[in-house]
């Protein structure tokens, strides 16, 4: 397997840090991987290597403001959460189209990375989409007492610290990477709105393509996830109203685990049990 660092331009020219993985032989398709909110691409590297070993070129990238795509200072850095979907994801897929014009193209996405697919205007080249722990994010849909932590973050922490620092130091609360103010505030706006993204269609989200997406969508989520649940995963799948959608709940008993949660799918200890699931599904799409 070959691995190299690459720089990919978003649609507005912003340069994104990316990792390009490719098997030496038997290349069967290309996978664009979308990270969750505030998660660096390296977190998913072991899983990406597994996907490459199964015969797929894989592109991991950091959204603007995160990891290798972070400027020297986040203070005053202009970025919105929607830009990750409208500009960054679209730019990476354009790079893939140019680099692999003949190969089938898929997206595998974690959490917020699955929600933002509906903002990609070039979605029509996709053969399939896999989401992992992707769901709507309205805080009152989360189970008690967990829901009160994100409520504090969105109603209190983000508004206060973003004014003080000019960005949101998310690391202090172990919420992943620090976030640009615009990203954090838009995240809070979405997650404190009962109708979630739908309330912003035609307002701050000028264009969205959920209903236009025809590629099949497969969603995986863990039974102990406090964010992506039996309620919230179907809610985000409803956005893809004209796509064939299906979901699979991963039970703790199926993997003999005490916990998986929102991030555990990517743990190496579940490599043999969970990592084949997305690729097995993708292979069924290739066979059709």
Dump pLDDT digits (tens) for 12-52. Answer: 999 999 999 999 888 999 999 999 999 999 999 999 999 99
Q: What is the DSSP string of 172-235?
A: GGT-SS-EEHHHHHHHHHHHTSTTGGGGGBTTTB----GGG--S-EEEEEETT-SSS-TTHHHH
Cβ neighbours for 163, distance < 8 A, ≥ 6 positions apart: none
Q: How many residues does the chain have?
A: 288
User: DSSP letter at 70?
Assistant: -
Dump pLDDT digits (tens) for 171-195. Answer: 877 778 999 999 999 999 999 999 9
59 touches 32 (CB < 8 A): yes
CATH architecture label of 2-283: 3-Layer(aba) Sandwich (3.40)
pTM, entire model: 0.96
Backbone angles phi, psi at 119, to 5 degrees: -100, 5
Name the token pair of 151: 């409520």
274 touches 249 (CB < 8 A): no
Query: How do 15-22 and 29-34 pair as beta strands?
Result: unpaired
Task: Reply yes or no on whether the pLDDT at 214 is more than 80.
Answer: yes
pLDDT of residue 75: 94
């Amino acid at each position: 397997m070959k691995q190299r660092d690459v720089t990919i331009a978003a649609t507005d020219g912003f340069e994104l840090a990316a990792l390009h993985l490719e098997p030496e032989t038997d290349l069967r398709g290309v996978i664009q991987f979308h990270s969750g909110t505030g998660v660096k691409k390296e977190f998913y590297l072991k899983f990406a290597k597994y996907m490459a070993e199964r015969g797929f070129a894989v592109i991991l990238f950091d959204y603007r403001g995160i990891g290798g795509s972070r400027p020297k200072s986040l203070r005053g850095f202009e970025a919105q959460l929607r830009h990750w979907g409208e500009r960054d994801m679209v730019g990476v897929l354009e790079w893939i189209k140019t680099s692999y014009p003949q190969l089938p193209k898929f997206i595998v996405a974690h959490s917020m990375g699955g929600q933002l697919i509906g903002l990609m205007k070039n979605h029509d080249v996709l053969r399939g989409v896999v989401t992992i722990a992707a769901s709507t994010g309205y805080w009152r849909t989360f189970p008690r007492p967990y829901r009160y932590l994100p409520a504090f973050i969105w109603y209190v922490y983000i508004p206060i610290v973003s004014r003080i620092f000019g960005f949101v130091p998310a690391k202090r609360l172990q919420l992943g990477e620090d976030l640009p103010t615009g990203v954090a505030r838009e995240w809070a706006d979405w997650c404190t709105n009962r109708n979630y993204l739908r309330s912003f269609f035609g307002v701050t989200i000028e264009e969205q393509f959920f209903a236009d997406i025809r590629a099949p969508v497969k969603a995986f989520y863990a039974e102990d996830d406090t964010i992506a649940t039996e309620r919230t995963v179907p809610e985000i799948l409803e956005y893809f109203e004209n796509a064939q959608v299906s979901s699979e709940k991963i039970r703790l008993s199926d993997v003999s685990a005490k916990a998986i949660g929102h991030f555990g799918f990517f743990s190496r200890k579940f490599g043999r049990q969970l990592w084949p699931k997305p690729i097995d599904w993708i292979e069924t799409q290739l066979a059709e």
